[in-house]
Each structure stands twice: as C-alpha cells, then as structure tokens.
Chain A
Amino acid sequence: DTGVSQDPRHKITKRGQNVTFRCDPISEHNRLYWYRQTLGQGPEFLTYFQNEAQLEKSRLLSDRFSAERPKGSFSTLEIQRTEQGDSAMYLCASSLDRDYNPNYGYTFGSGTRLTVV
C-alpha cells in the first residue's frame, strides 16, 4: 500500500490552456474524492466517485472542469481553458466505505499545485 498518488506534484500553465491531473487511490478503496484548496483556506469538496460512478458534483465544479474514473481505478481531473482563479492545490482522497461505516477515514494524496500565469 503506497497511499494515494497524485501526478504531477506541480503544474504551471498559461491562461487558456487545458490541464489534466491524475490520481491513483489506494487499490481496494471504492470511493475517490477531489478537493480544491486555495491559500489560507481549508480544502473544498469538488466531486466524488463510488467505483466508476460520479455521484456528486459541487457547484464549484464549473463546466470547464471534468472528472472521470474509468473502470473504478485511477481518476483524472481536467480543467479546460484555465483561468488565473483556478490556481490552487488540487487534492485527491480515497476511502473504503462498506455498509455505511464511518470508521473508515479518508486518505489524502499530497496534491497537485496548479499555477496559472
């Protein structure tokens, strides 16, 4: 178990470009979450998957954002036509949720820091 992996760790892009981030969750975890964190703030929920199904999306997830989790394993988060306001840390987390048991905490990755210039 190597934990939750995110790639890349850092990304600098020009405004208007598209970017894609990848998250590899803990292998047996069936839930995967994306959060965004700006400087000085706590993480904000974006979306989550149960296996390959995307079950909830935050209003923060504009139509320029799309997330996928094909085959219920790794996930990608794509931002199209990036804006300077998209600059943030994008965090991925996974959890194993069985029988609605709250005793399984999230495991977060180290995040991808996006800077839009």
Chain B
Amino acid sequence: DAKTTQPTSMDCAEGRAANLPCNHSTISGNEYVYWYRQIHSQGPQYIIHGLKNNETNEMASLIITEDRKSSTLILPHATLRDTAVYYCIVSRFTGTASKLTFGTGTRLQVTL
C-alpha cells in the first residue's frame, strides 16, 4: 500500500473550515484514499473515502487532485468535538486483505 505524508499538527478556530492535507504521491490506480479520525481514548472512526472523484457526506468532504497524488479532508464548520488525530490512509482493496495501514496522522486542535 502507498505511503502517506500528513502534517504532524494543525490548529483551527471553531466555526471555521478545517482543511487537512495528505500527500500520497505513489498511489496506484486501484488504491482508495480513506480518512479516519481518533478522538482521545477511543477507537478510530471512519469519516470518508474516495477513489477519483470528490466525495461529500454528513461529516466531511474529500477533495482528490486530478493526478490523485494528494487529497484534502475538509470539515466545513469545525467544532471543539472535532479535536482528534486524523489519519489519511491509502489502501488497495483486494477483497482478501482489506487491512488499513495507519501512519501517525495529523493532530487537529480546534480552539475557541
């Protein structure tokens, strides 16, 4: 699975959009981009995933560049409860081994 690069930490003011970048320059054509987050003392929580097209759900939006070498997770109106570690994961979904390889993620701190 391709490796990802994320900033170690970011700050965001409550109510503003949080834009979390991820580089995955070695991604291959059959690899998906997944985002999970982990709030302190809890298990990771699935946020969103995509292959080529931009995706949006009730939690966030995922913007994938045309060359698929990077992506951005957007939390449109960050709240204090969005303070967490956000993991960008690139994974080939083979059907026989859909395990996820986590990096160290981005620690997002949402402040008043």
Question: A residues bordering B, Cβ < 8 Å?
Answer: 4, 31, 33, 35, 40-45, 48, 55-56, 91, 93, 95, 97, 100, 102-103, 105-111
Contact = CB atoms under 8 A, between A and B. Distances in A.
Do most interface residues of chain B lie in helix, strand or loop, or is the interface mixed?
A: loop
Contact of A95 (B45, B85, B98, B104): B98
B98 A42 contact: no
Nearest to B93: A102
12 contacts: A33-B99, A35-B102, A42-B105, A43-B100, A45-B100, A55-B96, A91-B44, A97-B95, A100-B94, A106-B44, A108-B44, A111-B42
A4 B93 CA distance: 22
Contact of A102 (B36, B98, B99): B98
Contacts of A4: 43
A70 B43 CA distance: 24
A42 B102 contact: yes
B68 interface: no
Q: Chain B CB within 10 Å — which of A31, A43, A55, A109 has the most? A: A43
